[in-house]
C-alpha cells in the first residue's frame, strides 16, 4: 500500500487563521498522532522568557517571521524525540528556506514527508474568525465565540484556567501576517507540488469555509493514505 512502512509525516499548511491548529488538534484527539505547532511553541518560549522567547517576542507581536535557522533548531529539538511516531507539523515550514532545511533533515533520518495538506479558506472568512479567537496559552487550545465556544465564558474546558487574546490578533497585525503568507509562505506550496507529487508524498488541497466541510475531507485523506494510523480507542484496547 501507499504507507508501506512509512510513518505519517504531515505538514498542515495554510493561511493564518485557516484552521491549522483547530484541525490538527481534532486529528490528534481522535488518532494515534502527535503534533508540533511552532506558534504554540514560540508563545510558550515567550511567556517563559527563554533565550528563544526573547528573540521571538517583538517579531511575533508584529507579525514578522523568525530566522529560518533558529526555527529549524526550535523544531528539530522537539521533533527528534518523536522518532517513529506519526506526526503533524503546524506552522512549519513557512518559507522555501525552511522547507529545504526540513527536507534535508528528514532525508538524513530516512523518513521523508509523506502528506502535505493545504487548507484553502477564503480571506474574508478568516478575517472574521480572528476577532473572535481566544486561546489557552499552556496547551494551545483554541476557542471561537461564534464557532467553538468554551463551556464556561473565558475559561479553558479542561483546566478551567483563563483564556487570553493573542497579541498578534488585531486587524492591523493580522493583515501583515496575511501579506507575509502570500509573499514568503505560499511559494512553498509550488515547491511541494512540483517536487513532491510522487508515489511517496501526497499533496492534498482541502477547500471550505467551515469545519463541517473540511474535517470529513481531512479525515478521509488520512484514513485512505495511511490506513495504519489507529484511532486512540483502538490503541488503548
Ligand atoms: P502561528 O501561531 O502558527 O500563527 P498562524 O500561522 O498565523 O496561524 P494561526 O494560529 O493564526 O491560525 P490557524 O490556522 O492555526 O487557525 P486556528 O485553528 O487557530 O504563528 C504565530 C507567529 O509565530 C507567526 O506570525 C510568526 O511570527 C511566528 N512563527 C511561527 N512559526 C514560524 C516559522 N515557521 N517561521 C518563522 N516564524 C514563525 O483557527 C483560527 C480561528 O478560526 C479560531 O478562532 C478557530 O476557533 C476558528 N476556526 C478554525 N477552524 C474553523 C472552521 N473550520 N470553521 C469555523 N471556525 C473555525
Count of domains in the chain? Answer: 1
In a domain, 234, yes or no: no
Cell of 183: 509573499
Residue 204 in domain: yes
Position 203 scores a pLDDT of 92
Average pLDDT value for the chain: 91
Percent of the chain with pLDDT over 90: 74
d(CA 17, ligand 1 centre) in Å: 5
Strands 133-136 and 141-144: antiparallel
210 Cβ below 6 A of ligand 1: yes
pLDDT at 128: 83
Q: 99 and 192 in contact (C-beta within 8 Å)?
A: yes
Kindly state the cell numbers that stand for 7: 510513518
* Structural domain boundaries enclosing 89: 9-228
Q: Which residues contact 202 (CB under 8 A, 6 or more apart)?
A: 2, 114, 115, 116, 221, 225
**Cα 109 to chain center, whole Å?**
22
- The pLDDT of 15-28, averaged and rounded, is 94
DSSP secondary structure code for residue 111 in this structure: -
Grid coordinates representing 179?
A: 501579506
In a domain, 52, yes or no: yes
CA distances from 139 to 156, 200, 224, 235 (A): 9, 32, 29, 23
Judge whether 15 counts as a catalytic residue: no
Question: Which has more pLDDT, 5 or 222?
Answer: 222
Q: Is the pLDDT of residue 193 over 50?
A: yes
pLDDT at 6: 78
CATH number of the domain enclosing 141: 3.40.50.300
Known catalytic residue at 166: yes
Q: Which three cell numbers stand for residue 36?
A: 508540533
Q: How many CB atoms lie within 10 A of CB 59?
A: 16
Degrees, nearest 5: CA angle 86-92-98: 115
Q: What percent of the chain has pLDDT over 70?
A: 95
For residue range 219-235, what is the model confidence (pLDDT) as tens digits? 999 999 999 999 998 65
What is the average pLDDT across 161-176?
Answer: 92
Task: Please report whether residue 4 resides in a domain.
Answer: no
With respect to residue 112, please indicate whether it lies within any of the assigned structural domains: yes
Residue 229 · residue 8 · CB < 8 Å: yes
Question: Does the residue 2 lie in any domain?
Answer: no
Task: Kindly state the cell numbers that stand for 130.
Answer: 480572528
Q: Which atom of ligand 1 is the closest one to the Cα of 16?
A: 7
- Give 165's pLDDT tier (boundaries 50, 70, 90): very high
Cell numbers 508540533: residue: 36
Q: Residue 235 domain-assigned? A: no
Residue 26 sits at the vertex; the CA angle it makes with 228 and 128, to the nearest 5 degrees, is 140
Higher pLDDT among residues 236 and 95, named by residue: 95
Residue 24, C-alpha cell as written in the block: 490538527
Residue nearest to atom 17 of ligand 1 (CA): 19
Q: 48-96, pLDDT tens digit by residue?
A: 999 999 999 999 999 999 999 999 999 999 998 888 899 999 999 999 9
pLDDT (0 to 100) of residue 1: 43
In a domain, 236, yes or no: no
Amino acid at each position: 500500500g501507499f504507507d508501506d512502512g512509512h510513518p505519517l509525516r504531515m505538514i498542515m499548511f495554510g493561511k493564518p487563521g485557516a484552521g491549522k491548529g483547530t484541525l490538527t488538534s481534532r486529528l490528534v484527539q481522535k488518532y494515534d498522532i502527535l503534533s508540533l505547532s511552532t506558534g504554540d511553541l514560540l508563545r510558550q518560549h515567550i511567556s517563559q522568557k527563554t533565550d528563544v522567547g526573547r528573540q521571538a517576542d517583538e517579531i511575533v507581536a508584529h507579525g514578522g517571521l523568525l530566522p529560518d535557522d533558529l526555527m529549524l533548531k526550535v523544531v528539530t529539538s522537539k521533533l527528534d524525540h518523536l522518532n517513529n511516531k506519526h506526526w503533524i507539523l503546524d506552522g512549519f515550514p513557512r518559507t522555501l528556506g525552511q522547507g529545504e532545511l526540513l527536507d534535508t533533515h528528514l532525508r538524513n533520518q530516512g523518513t521523508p514527508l509523506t502528506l502535505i495538506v493545504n487548507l484553502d479558506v477564503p480571506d474574508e472568512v478568516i478575517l472574521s474568525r480572528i476577532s473572535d479567537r481566544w486561546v489557552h496559552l499552556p496547551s494551545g487550545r483554541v476557542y471561537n465565540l461564534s464557532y467553538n465556544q468554551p463551556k464556561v465564558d473565558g475559561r479553558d474546558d479542561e483546566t478551567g484556567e483563563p483564556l487570553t487574546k493573542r497579541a498578534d490578533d488585531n486587524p492591523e497585525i493580522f493583515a501583515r501576517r496575511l501579506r507575509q503568507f502570500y509573499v514568503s509562505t505560499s511559494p512553498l506550496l509550488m515547491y511541494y507540488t512540483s517536487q513532491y507529487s510522487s508515489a511517496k508524498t501526497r499533496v492534498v488541497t482541502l477547500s471550505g469555509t467551515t469545519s463541517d466541510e473540511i474535517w470529513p475531507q481531512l479525515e478521509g485523506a488520512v484514513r485512505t493514505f495511511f490506513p495504519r494510523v489507529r484511532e486512540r480507542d483502538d490503541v488503548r484496547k
